[in-house]
Structure 1
Amino acid sequence: MTTTTALIEPVTLAGLPLTSPFVMAPMTREHSPGGVPTPEVAAYYRRRAENGVGLIITEGVLVDHPSAGHQRDVPRLTEGAAEDGWRHVTAEVHAAGGRIAAQLWHLGSQFEGDGAWTPQTMSGGDFDALLRAYAESARVAVWAGFDAVEVHAAHGYLLDEFLWPVTNPSGRHRDFPAEVVRVIRTEIPACMPLIVRFSQFKERDYSARIASTPDELGVLLEGFRNAGADVLHASQRRFWEPVFEGSDRNLAGWAKHLTGLPSITVGSIGLTRDFARSARMRELLDRRARGEYDLMALGRVLLGNPAWVKLAEAGRHDEINDYRKADEEQYA
């Protein structure tokens, strides 16, 4: 890596102009009392936007349904105070030249309450109620000034539970996640990118798979594309690891190859100071240059390094901090 490497350069994602190909991945922070984002939340996101991150994807935002999640300090996307709080967030990100997507989230059976709660199988009107909840949150996202919407269908949460044979062995309602995408598509402008985040692994099972072959994965992803998805955000633990035998493509590479949609890669990018000058960094950029994926998402490294992109581009590697678990407890 040299200081002449252009990391911050304009790109376009599904018609949305961005100042750089770097994305802030969604990370739960729990700093929104009563589900309402504060001015500190707005400043937190703005710092990343003004330091070279082209697209911010918010922490998971709970849709407006009682079953979505129990944490009081996780933000929601509902009319009223939460909408007003998010409008301030989007204004701050836009003032810094960035773009921001709202990630719509339902925890599903990973909901962890007071110990008395037991997961229940969805049936009947539950599906319609949740479709309405996703639709309402999508409408609020538009009103609050977001540039895009992301559907969280990864990591073992509600929508991913329909895709994973372990939590849905019968395969019933496997198309429900695509139905969520379809209803959101009808609630947002045609020009607003709709992103779907998916994964093979789960938060509690790193060996899990929703697809054992490219053909199986293609069926699932085509469902999202046909429902109106514009971008696929492929979450994996390490971006450089191949997904299927016989190819070195990563998960984002397969998503783009199978559907033709632009994709975002993510997974252990930049966790150490040396990453920005390492062979892995060159590999990250080379894979993008070859067209394997379109954008590159940074996660935990941005907690302790809001300026990671600018520092990496300038070759100021010694000013980059290694990721530490303690970074997750701070909010800066």
Structure 2
Amino acid sequence: MSLLFSPRAVGPLTLKNRVVIAPMCQYSAIDGVPQPWHVQHLGKLAISGAGLVIVEATGVEAAGRITPDDTGLWNDAQEAAFAQIITDIRTYSDTPIGVQLGHAGRKASTSAPWKGGRALGADEGAWETFSASAEPFKDDWHTPTAMSQADMDRVVSAFEDAARRADRAGFDLVELHAAHGYLLTQFLSPLSNHRTDDFGGGFESRARFPLRVAQALRDAWPRTKALGVRFNGSDWVEGGIALDEVTAFGQALHDMGYDYLHLTSGGNVARADIPGAEPGYQLQFAQAVKAATPDANVMAVGMIFDPQQAEDIVASGQADLIAIARAALDDPNWAHHAAVALGDEEGLPPQYERAGKKYWPGYGKAG
């Protein structure tokens, strides 16, 4: 058995393999409620052969949506829709299903990428945005309101409430979204946090609000279910968050009781030059966090699409889990195919077994 396809304990949850489908925004919800698109999308991923599937970034309050088309978990209709999806999945798949909870901060109130990916106008339902400081992500985007203590209290409560809803809906895992330039990143990075109070300045102060949210989520989410966090390893801009700050943040979350640390990068500064074409370009951040916190489960993500590449990462100890995103959209059976490539059983559902690789003419023959 390859290491990639060996089990891994993630807190109270044991994954059948190390392949994770990363959260990917679908921008297809209505009033935060998942739609038939999500039913087929998540159902397909639930039989993908991955050890874990994480639902897209889901807003904890209406103001925290990236776009009007984001999923949410702040009301009963949203909770009920997710509960039905999970109930249906459980009739054909035992794959753990998680949800990423987040708040977009100053990157909220925008249109979906294929609708222009720009700030909404007043006639398009634009809403007030919030951030660490009153500075827009781009010159032509909304200028956010610098958050007051009351705003912070409201957002903390929203995360707590969303966690309780996620639990009732039947999710097996929650991932805290502290990456990609959304609200918690905006506090963590000196490029977006220019506060002069207790929540700005040095790293300890910049991390104060994100760690408060993290602790509130840890307290609200059952210890019998897994809890992870996704955060940035770099802003890809000079003067951004430093690697020693990244590792310190990871250590603090691990000490708090988070079951895995998911390392990504970018999205906080519009002018960033991200080397996205390089396979495994973010692996250095996962490796640094793993070295600093060796007892933590560390998840690597970012242009990892070759099965042998994924196997080598976990075999070398650079990371414990491999998240794939675009590769899974391109090939929903990526994990099944990767298992075959690494010499393991394909693991298709019985309904699909007759389409397995071993039944195709010439399978296994040289040339």
TM-score (norm 2): 0.73
- Whether contact under 8 Å (2:3, 2:311) holds in the other structure is no
The equivalent residue for 2:296 is 261
In structure 2, runs of 5+ residues without a counterpart are: 111-118, 123-141, 195-199, 266-275, 343-354, 356-367
**Counterpart pick for 2:39 among 39, 42, 49:** 42
Q: For residue 299 of structure 2, give the secondary structure of its aligned residue in structure 1.
A: strand
- Whether contact under 8 Å (1:139, 1:188) holds in the other structure is yes
The equivalent residue for 1:84 is 80
Residue 83 of structure 2 aligns with an amino acid whose one-letter code is R
- Whether contact under 8 Å (1:27, 1:59) holds in the other structure is yes
**Counterpart pick for 1:289 among 291, 308, 315:** 315
Q: For residue 53 of structure 2, give the secondary structure of its aligned residue in structure 1.
A: strand
Is residue 62 of structure 1 aligned with residue 59 of structure 2? yes
The equivalent residue for 2:358 is none
Residue 178 of structure 1 aligns with an amino acid whose one-letter code is L
Residue 257 of structure 2 aligns with an amino acid whose one-letter code is G
The equivalent residue for 1:229 is 258
The equivalent residue for 1:140 is 165
CA shift in 2, pair 1:306/1:241, >3 Å: closer
The higher relative CO (CA closer than 8 Å, separation ≥ 6) is in 1
Is residue 189 of structure 1 aligned with residue 243 of structure 2? no
Aligned length: 294
Deviation at 1:306? 0.7
The equivalent residue for 2:326 is 300
Deviation at 1:164? 0.6
Deviation at 1:120? 1.2
Distance, in Å, in 1 between the alignment partners of 2:47 and 2:5 is 11
Q: What do you get for the CA RMSD once the two structures are aligned? A: 2.5
**Counterpart pick for 2:187 among 149, 154, 162:** 162
Residue 73 of structure 1 aligns with an amino acid whose one-letter code is D
In structure 1, runs of 5+ residues without a counterpart are: 243-248, 320-332
The equivalent residue for 1:309 is 335
- Whether contact under 8 Å (1:201, 1:209) holds in the other structure is no
Cα deviation digits, residues 286-328 of structure 1 (max 9, x gap):
2312322111001111112111111232249xx9xxxxxxxxx
The equivalent residue for 1:16 is 13
Cα deviation digits, residues 24-70 of structure 1 (max 9, x gap):
11111012222111344133112122121111111100112x42126
Distance, in Å, in 2 between the alignment partners of 1:106 and 1:158 is 6
Distance, in Å, in 1 between the alignment partners of 2:150 and 2:158 is 12
Q: How does 1:73-152 map to 2 (within 5 A)?
A: 73-94=69-90, 95-111=92-108, 112=110, 113-115=119-121, 117-152=142-177
Higher Rg of the two aligned structures: 2
Q: How does 1:205-244 map to 2 (within 5 A)?
A: 206-207=236-237, 210-213=240-243, 215-236=244-265, 237=276, 240-241=280-281
**Counterpart pick for 1:250 among 284, 308, 323:** 284
- Whether contact under 8 Å (1:6, 1:313) holds in the other structure is no
Residue 242 of structure 2 aligns with an amino acid whose one-letter code is S
**Counterpart pick for 2:231 among 174, 187, 198:** 198
- Whether contact under 8 Å (2:4, 2:310) holds in the other structure is no
